[in-house]
Structure 1
Amino acid sequence: MKTVTAQQTKTGASVEFRGLRREFGEVRALDGLDLTIAPGELVALLGPSGCGKTTALRVLAGLEAVDAGEVLVDGTDVVGVPANKRDMGMVFQAYSLFPNLTVRDNVAFGLRLRGVAPAARQKRAQELLELVGLSAQEKRYPHQLSGGQQQRVALARALAIEPRVLLLDEPLSALDALVRTQLRDEIRRLQLRVGITTLFVTHDQEEALSIADRVGVMRSGRLEQCDSPAELYARPATAFVAEFVGTMNRLPGTVAVGSASVDVVGERLVLAEPGKHTDGDSVTVLVRPEAVTLAAASDGRAVVTDHSFRGAVTRVTALLSDGTAVLADLPSVAAADLVPGTGVDVGFGTQPVLLAS
């Protein structure tokens, strides 16, 4: 596959959802969804099953109607415009390749429907196959390719028509872990190279955080937060986002100091959202494993029960005296001596913490 140059030209269309509502009987799949995607940006929608992420993508594609709201592409509302007139490229979880067509003819299929001359469409297909690293397979049929290769053909076919927007509906979920990681990186390189606006729907948080410029976390048809992966992880706007993205410890605590702090296992931590509870309230505090520190102490407040080596990081589980399990992600060198049965003191860093909703 060709390498990506340092400078990329953002040539894609802008996309904006305004107050989208979509109901299926008593189920509200989209509940006033607002989202703006800049030209050339890759936004991933992430959330649990039924949160509305796929419905939002299908609305943009023209495959799903809306009950209210606007879908703007380069400032023009496309609600009511047929799917085949929206100039969108789409890649599904199922590859949907034509088994009776060669790889090259699969890629050129959309161009043929648009009446592009044979020579021009064959040239374009060859360019796209080179881009996805499948030039040598152009005369093969889909059944002669691996799953990852088939998905690259589907991606090349979507890009061949030079769409204004690329839509990816969980395109990697049917692949094994290693191929999924490799193809995920290839999709990102291609997206940057072409400069196309992309909406990527996935249920895999690692996938979303690694591939997107911004990640939107959805819940019950609404957008809880849409931010860069680093911002989303480090500063979640809500407890739902905090628990859905990454791993969280849920620890018992007591609100203190005018509801601005919380006492957790003998430590006082600052609340990220003070004033929502009164002093003395029992709450559940959310702390990421990498914020937890463990220090060996024979009279410590916890005992190590599990020690899971993960390369540079080791996840250590310690059990508090009340039976609460605490996960700590520590440098493997520092965690080497914290074997099961070791008494430890537990610390939680200085970052403000959220409370479970």
Structure 2
Amino acid sequence: MTLDKALPRDHAATVEFQGLRREFGSTVALDGLDLTVRPGELLALLGPSGCGKTTALRMLAGFEHPDSGEVLVDGEDVTRVPAHRRDAGMVFQSYSLFPHLSALDNVAFGLRMRKVRTAERRARAVELLDLVGLGDKTGRFPHQLSGGQQQRVALARALALRPRVLLLDEPLSALDAKVRLTLREEIRRLQQELGITTLFVTHDQEEALSMADRVAVMRAGRLEQCAAPAELYGRPATPFVAEFVGTMNRLPGRHTSGVVEVLGQRLPVDGDAPAAAEVDVLVRPEAVQVAADGEGDARVVATAFLGATVRLTVRLADGTEVRADLRAHEAAGLTAGAGVRVSLPQRPVLVAERTC
């Protein structure tokens, strides 16, 4: 089977959300969302529960309609187009397979509804099951398949109608960790090979960063930042993004005219700073520098072996605890109780309002 036969590459579409607003009673689910999904990219919508990411996905699918704003696919306004005419394939968190149908018949179901001839729909179903690694499971029923295999069937079914857009609504959350890791790699490989525009909703930052071309972080119905994973992690646009994506330390500092004093150092501020003088400095654990110092007033209170790195928890003289990720050989001898000196690289830092 060829990939072009399964799903032509010219199906890659541009998706645009323009000023989407949706209220459910007193709750604002989307508050003026503007976002573009580029042709052929996998864009992850990431955020805490209630941030509006699933509402946005459902609006693209046609299951929800905005109070205001538009949804465009290749420049065409589909805001009020019924779901069955959206030309979108969707994979849900629950597999939603028909228990009385075989894997092949589940994949072929949508084709049957569209009156595709029996021979053609069976051939396409076989091709797609082979594409997702289940060519030898065509006759199995859902109860005879593992959770990961059922989700592969659901993915093949979503692709059977050759949609312009693929929508994934937390499709891996019901699977165990090992299966999630394998399946997310397979989904990403398949998406790249097919070149299909994909919107992927998740609350799992590791999934988003490892799978997506770009990640859109949402909060309270608004877009906080949309960027490639490396930029999102390394240069977060807001304190919320900084703390939601990855692990972040908050260190007390004092801000004056674009410079912050922290750990006895003076560092430039990256971006905007709160008006207050007393601020928190946001620093990744891997950016924290720790050196042995028997006379230092900071102490290691815990260590955790993470493979290539060791995470130290260090208590400063004022009681603040700092997490630092060091390479294993750098952490040698830095056991609980050891005196240390903590510092930061001479580069701009992100600051936020003091939390306490």
TM-score when normalising by structure 1: 0.95
Query: By how many angstroms is 1:301 displaced?
Result: 3.0
Partner of 1:270: 268
Query: By how many angstroms is 1:79 displaced?
Result: 1.0
Instruction: Check 1:109–1:94 CA distance in 2 against 1; reply closer, same or farther (3 A cut).
Output: same
Query: By how many angstroms is 1:276 displaced?
Result: 4.3
Counterpart mapping for 1:104-123 below 5 A = 104-123=104-123
Cα distance in 2 for partners of 1:339, 1:273 equals: 36
Instruction: Check 1:101–1:275 CA distance in 2 against 1; reply closer, same or farther (3 A cut).
Output: closer
Q: 1:342 aligns with which of 338, 341, 345?
A: 338
The answer to whether structure 1 residue 320 and structure 2 residue 320 are counterparts is no
Partner of 1:154: 154
Query: By how many angstroms is 1:277 displaced?
Result: 3.1
Query: By how many angstroms is 1:351 displaced?
Result: 3.0
Q: Report Cα offsets for 1:259-286 as digits up to 9, x if no partner.
A: 21111121122100256436xx111110
Partner of 2:307: 311
- Partner SS, residue 200 of structure 1: strand
Q: Is the 8 A contact 2:55 2:64 kept in 1?
A: yes
- Partner SS, residue 178 of structure 1: helix
Q: Which amino acid aligns with 1:139?
A: G
Partner of 2:347: 351
Cα distance in 2 for partners of 1:9, 1:318 equals: 52
The alignment covers a number of residue pairs equal to 350
Cα distance in 2 for partners of 1:136, 1:124 equals: 15
The answer to whether structure 1 residue 25 and structure 2 residue 25 are counterparts is yes
Partner of 2:71: 71
- Partner SS, residue 240 of structure 2: helix
Partner of 1:253: 253
Q: Is the 8 A contact 1:46 1:218 kept in 2?
A: yes
- Partner SS, residue 272 of structure 1: coil
- Partner SS, residue 32 of structure 2: strand
Partner of 2:94: 94
Q: Which amino acid aligns with 1:91?
A: V
Q: Which amino acid aligns with 2:139?
A: K
- Partner SS, residue 40 of structure 1: coil
The answer to whether structure 1 residue 297 and structure 2 residue 293 are counterparts is yes
Cα distance in 1 for partners of 2:252, 2:10 equals: 47
Q: Which amino acid aligns with 2:275?
A: H
- Partner SS, residue 263 of structure 1: strand
Query: By how many angstroms is 1:164 displaced?
Result: 0.8
- Partner SS, residue 226 of structure 1: strand
Q: Is the 8 A contact 1:2 1:131 kept in 2?
A: no
Q: 1:284 aligns with which of 280, 285, 298?
A: 280
Cα distance in 2 for partners of 1:10, 1:299 equals: 66
Instruction: Check 1:65–1:274 CA distance in 2 against 1; reply closer, same or farther (3 A cut).
Output: closer
The answer to whether structure 1 residue 242 and structure 2 residue 242 are counterparts is yes
Q: Which amino acid aligns with 1:67?
A: D
Counterpart mapping for 1:122-201 below 5 A = 122-201=122-201
Instruction: Check 1:2–1:235 CA distance in 2 against 1; reply closer, same or farther (3 A cut).
Output: farther
- Partner SS, residue 128 of structure 1: helix
Q: Which amino acid aligns with 1:71?
A: V
Q: Report Cα offsets for 1:204-249 as digits up to 9, x if no partner.
A: 0000000000000001111010000001111111111111111100
Query: By how many angstroms is 1:143 displaced?
Result: 0.5
Q: Is the 8 A contact 2:215 2:226 kept in 1?
A: yes
Q: Is the 8 A contact 2:30 2:222 kept in 1?
A: yes
- Partner SS, residue 63 of structure 2: coil
Q: Report Cα offsets for 1:121-179 as digits up to 9, x if no partner.
A: 01101110111000111111000111111101100100111001000000000011111
- Partner SS, residue 136 of structure 2: helix
% identical equivalent positions: 66
Q: Which amino acid aligns with 1:286?
A: L
Q: Is the 8 A contact 1:301 1:346 kept in 2?
A: no
Query: By how many angstroms is 1:299 displaced?
Result: 1.2
Instruction: Check 1:345–1:10 CA distance in 2 against 1; reply closer, same or farther (3 A cut).
Output: farther
Q: Is the 8 A contact 1:10 1:39 kept in 2?
A: no
